[in-house]
Amino acid sequence: MTAGIDDIAIYIPRLYIDAADFAEARGLDPVKLQKGLGVSQMAIVDANQDPACLAANACLRVMEKNNLSPDDIGRLYISTESAFDESKAMNSYVIGMLEQVYGQGSFEHCGGVETKFACVSGSYALYDNTNWIRAGEAEGKSALVVVSDIAKYDMGSSGEMTQGAGAVVMLLNDEPRLLEFDPKVTSTSIKDEYDFYRPFGKETPIVHGQYSNLLYMIQVRKALEAYKKKVISSNLIKMKENETILDHMDYINMHLPYSNMGKKALAYLVRHEWRQLPRWKNILEQIGMEEPIPKDPRGTIESVLADEEFMAKDHEFTKLFTKTQEYQDVFESKLSSSLIASTMIGNLYTASLYLGFRSSLEFEYQKGVDLEGKRIGFGSYGSGSSAMVFSGLVQPEYEEIVKSMNLEAEIGQRKRLTWSEYEELHENKLTPEQSKVHTKKEFVLVDVKTDVESRGERRYVFTS
Ligand code: HMG
């Protein structure tokens, strides 16, 4: 049985901090954010928003757009790393909100859990729900998989320039109009690591930034190796001599903690794939230097990062590699459109990969490309750490969905925060009623109880 993504909707908070204002306040060169990281604006949640109401707003959009009733939905999964309860799952809050619109008890039949593995958990949730459909257990119902997060780092930390917030929901069923997942090729890699983690009770993560960048690339490459083996053994793709698996992906969507991480990761994967092929000789001639090797090629990530001479040479080599026409062609045709939304919104943790997927569909379609039958490869990464590589084919009915995509309209009118407004929000100084914008027909948080008996209980309303 086939299964995949039938439709997709997003919800992005209306507030943002502009990269230029951020750089000025922090005494940074604005070019570092805009060109070095690929960050122009970062979405920030209002005082009356949390990841559950971002998720509920996204779910309502996809349901209304497709005239779905709760009876059409068999499962509602939420993947997040911004959970605010150690026991009560975030999908229960979302169901509570949706029932304010669809009627109390209307989702009673619907199963689901909250899943966690940093930014990769949404991909695991997609995979599990795809298999629920493939196994024939869905009985004609669809699944909603929501990825919702607030990427928030400590004030003054280097992670602070890679924040963002938002939710993406994917409607999965057995007759997907957008993307059918390739069967039996989804591949993972996993390793106990401390590149980025958020201990109990801490609102912001502990991050080893450069370590996380390198680990992300290593883990995705391992998952890609496993994917390659499965693709070949399952005969999904017939690889000819001197080809790489990446040649068979028309688009590559990467996890985007900031948009340039996608560029970095693509360059890393392409380099590793091309190195084995005759085309590499010509690339090396263009670059004009040998590919550097670390002093201890079998060393740890720490030893590689500490090898300053290697890191500097490798940086230079990568820069030259990314300037070659061959790499530029891959970048422009397979990745560039997926980065546009990330630049405007920032990191969405679990939702970043899927915002990139959504971005690539909209902006490739706008270029006039016929997307039918194109294979999209996904490189998902979650700190801590695990990666997942999988793929799917764009379906003949895709145009029904993609022709009406309009990122700016779906984000809505935004308010550019002043630095002091940003600080107030970041430091949680405002109560929900002090929200900066007042929205209509959206779920908002109105209260979090503080008394001993009901501490942590949240109340949401649907604004009129
Ligand atoms: P940093 O170390 O301050 O930045 O923080 P940098 O020195 O690496 O500079 C960034 C880029 O800007 C570099 O480009 C510089 O050259 C360039 P590159 O060399 O890499 O191509 N640059 C400039 N360009 C133009 N003009 C200038 C200038 N100055 C520098 N004046 C870092 C960067 C990403 C480490 C930091 O923001 C951070 O720690 N972020 C959070 C962690 C993160 O996003 N890690 C990404 C991989 S791990 C991951 O994706 C998982 C995650 O999403 C969490 C999860 O799974 O849940 C984070």
**What backbone torsions phi and psi does residue 30 show, to the nearest 5 degrees?**
-60, -25
CA proximity to 398, closest of 419, 376, 415, 381: 376
Helix, strand counts (H, E) of the chain: 16, 17
- CA gap 350, 283 in Å, rounded: 35
Cis peptide bond prior to 385, omega within 30° of 0: yes
* pLDDT for res 297: 85
Q: Report, as ranges of residue numbers, the positions in the chain whose pLDDT lies below 50.
A: none
Cα distances (Å, whole numbers) of residue 42 to 131, 174, 225, 412, 424? 34, 35, 33, 15, 16
Ligand 1: which atom is nearest the Cα of residue 385? 56
- CA gap 391, 389 in Å, rounded: 7
pTM: 0.98
In the reported structure, the alpha carbon of residue 218 is separated from the centroid of ligand 1 by a whole-number distance in angstroms of 16
* pLDDT for res 190: 98
* pLDDT for res 84: 95
Q: Which residues contact 420 (CB under 8 A, 6 or more apart)?
A: none
Pocket probe for ligand 1: among 22, 33, 35, 37, the residue whose CB has the most ligand atoms within 8 Å is: 37
- CA gap 394, 373 in Å, rounded: 5
* pLDDT for res 1: 86
Tens of pLDDT, residues 284-296: 999 999 999 999 9
- CA gap 104, 2 in Å, rounded: 33
In the reported structure, the alpha carbon of residue 161 is separated from the centroid of ligand 1 by a whole-number distance in angstroms of 9
In the reported structure, the alpha carbon of residue 210 is separated from the centroid of ligand 1 by a whole-number distance in angstroms of 7
* pLDDT for res 184: 96
